[in-house]
Amino acid sequence: MSIVVTRSGGPPRVPMERIAKLVATLAPGLIRERTGEGIDVKDRPFKRYSRDYLLAKTSAGRNPGVNLTVTNGLLGSVAAVSVVVTEQGFTIVIAPGAGTSAATRFVDGVAKRTGKRSPTHSVLGAIHHYGRGQMPARPWLALSPKDMASLMRQLLDAGIAIPLRGR
């Protein structure tokens, strides 16, 4: 996903580069928190986990919520991977990383490391986002309307009022 700001009117009081850095600092956490609470990009609850997966996950002492999390490697990797500032505004691309986590499997009520690595977080994120096979789509990688409102409020806290657009 990306956040785009188009400047209009006079020069901003705060340099655009600093505004961009602040947005890049704040936005990934909003996605992480919302997803961790089981809410999708339209501020609706994610589709439920299958009964078998839920049973395995809860038996291993993990949070029963649909939070796309076991090791937290995926959500923890979400970052502003690119910040481009131009005369017209800035564009920030937010995405999961291309790294991996230790692959785990639920065995006898324990999440055990298999010794292998997970798919890259970017691939894992896309699988969750778009769904695959019997696994339903759980769109998570974007700023939801509530995320966007929170981001705007936080910028106002810093005395910055600018139009943001997520896509």
Residue ranges in contact with other proteins by CB under 8 A: 14, 18, 20-22, 24-30, 32-33, 36, 60-63, 67, 69, 71-73, 75-83, 92, 96-102, 111, 113, 115, 117, 120-121, 150, 153-154, 157-160
Compare residues 63 and 134 and give the one whose CB is closer to other proteins.
63
Compare residues 121 and 138 and give the one whose CB is closer to other proteins.
121
State how far the Cα of 96 lies from the Cα of 1, in Å rounded to an integer.
10
User: Please, how many CA atoms are within 13 Å of residue 23, restricted to the half-sphere of its CB?
Assistant: 34
Shortest distance (Å) from residue 35 CB to other proteins: 10
State how far the Cα of 22 lies from the Cα of 122, in Å rounded to an integer.
23
End-to-end C-alpha distance for the chain, whole angstroms = 6
Q: What Å distances lie between residue 157 and 17, 40, 79, 166, CA to CA?
A: 17, 26, 22, 20
Shortest distance (Å) from residue 130 CB to other proteins: 20
Compare residues 10 and 115 and give the one whose CB is closer to other proteins.
115
Shortest distance (Å) from residue 78 CB to other proteins: 5
Shortest distance (Å) from residue 5 CB to other proteins: 14
What backbone torsions phi and psi does residue 71 show, to the nearest 5 degrees?
-90, -10
